[in-house]
Amino acid sequence: MNKFFPANFPNRQYQLLFTQGSGENKEEIINYEFDAKDLVCLGLSSIVGVWYLLRKHWIANNLFGLAFSLNGVELLHLNNVSTGCILLGGLFIYDVFWVFGTNVMVTVAKSFEAPIKLVFPQDLLEKGLEADNFAMLGLGDIVIPGIFIALLLRFDISLKKNTHTYFYTSFAAYIFGLGLTIFIMHIFKHAQPALLYLVPACIGFPVLVALAKGEVTEMFSYESSAEILPHTPRLTHFPTVSGSPASLADSMQQKLAGPRRRRPQNPSAIGRSKKLKVNPPKPNLSSICRCPPLPLGTTRHRKRRATCLRRAYGGAGAKPGRCWAVNASYEESNPKDAAAVTEGSKEGTEASASKGLEKKEK
C-alpha cells in the first residue's frame, strides 16, 4: 500500500498501550504501535467488513477469501518436497472421502455463511451483481496447493539459474487441474473434490520436468530454510506488537541472520589441553595437588592427598586427569613453586616421623 500514498503524506506514529495493575505489579497487556498509513488501511478494510456483514455480498466474501488465502500461503511453509507430497496425498484421500463418501462437505459449504470459500456466480450474465447461483471453491483447495507451489519457487531460487521453471510448471498445473475440475463438474452435474485433480497435476507435472532435466535428486533432497524471498513484504510493513507472532518472528529472523559468536580460546591453552588428553605425563607425587593449608602429616591431609592421587591416575569414582591437568598448568606458570612444595613435603614427612617416634616412646 505504500505505493499508493504520496511522498508528502504526513505519516505520524501512534502507540496503543493497555496495562493492568500499578507500581511494581503493573503488567503490560497490549502494546500496539502503528502509523497514519495503518489507520487509512484500517478504514478501507472496515468498509469491506461492514459491507459483508450487512449484505453478505459475494464480492466482499471473495475479497476476504483472497486475503485469507494470501496470508495462508505466506505464513505456512513446507520444508521439503517429500513433506509436501505426503501432505497433499493425505488431503487427497480426505477430500475424496468427504465429498463422494458422504454429503457432509457439500452441506457445510452451502449452509455455512462465512468467507471460507470463493464463490463464482453462474448466472452473472442474467442477474448481474445480484446473482444467487454460485459455484464454490474452498480456501483449502487454494492454500494447500499454494504452499507446495511456493516451495517449488524457493527451490527454483536455490538452483541459482535465474529461471522459475518449476514454479511456472506447477502454476500451470494448478490452472489445468482447476479447469478440469470445473469441466467434470458441469459434465456430471455433481460436486467434485478439487484436490482429486489438483494433487496429481501439481505433483506430477513438476516431477516430470525434473525427470526430463535430471534434477529429481536435487528436488527431493532440497531443504527449505527460513530465508525471505526477494520482494516479499512479510513482516516488514506490519506494526509490531510486543509478544505477538510478528515481533517474535522478527526477533527470530534477526537471531538467525546474525553470525554465531564463539568464545575466544588461548592457542597455548588449546595445545596444552590436547597434549594432556592425548598423552598425559606421569604425575609428580610431590606436587600432585595443592591441598588446603593444614598441618602436615594429619589424617585429613593424608586422605585428601590419597584422593588427589587417585584422581591423577584416573582411579575409580574420580575424574581422570583433572587434578594433574590443574597442577601441570600451575607448575608452568609458577616453575619455582614446585621445588618449594617438594621441600615442604620432605619437612612434613620428617616431622610426622619424629612425632611417631615420640608417641612410641610415651
- The residues annotated as belonging to the active site are 95, 141
How far is it, in rounded angstroms, from Cα 252 to Cα 233? 17
Inter-CA distances, 52 with 56, 59, 326, Å: 4, 9, 76
How far is it, in rounded angstroms, from Cα 283 to Cα 308? 11
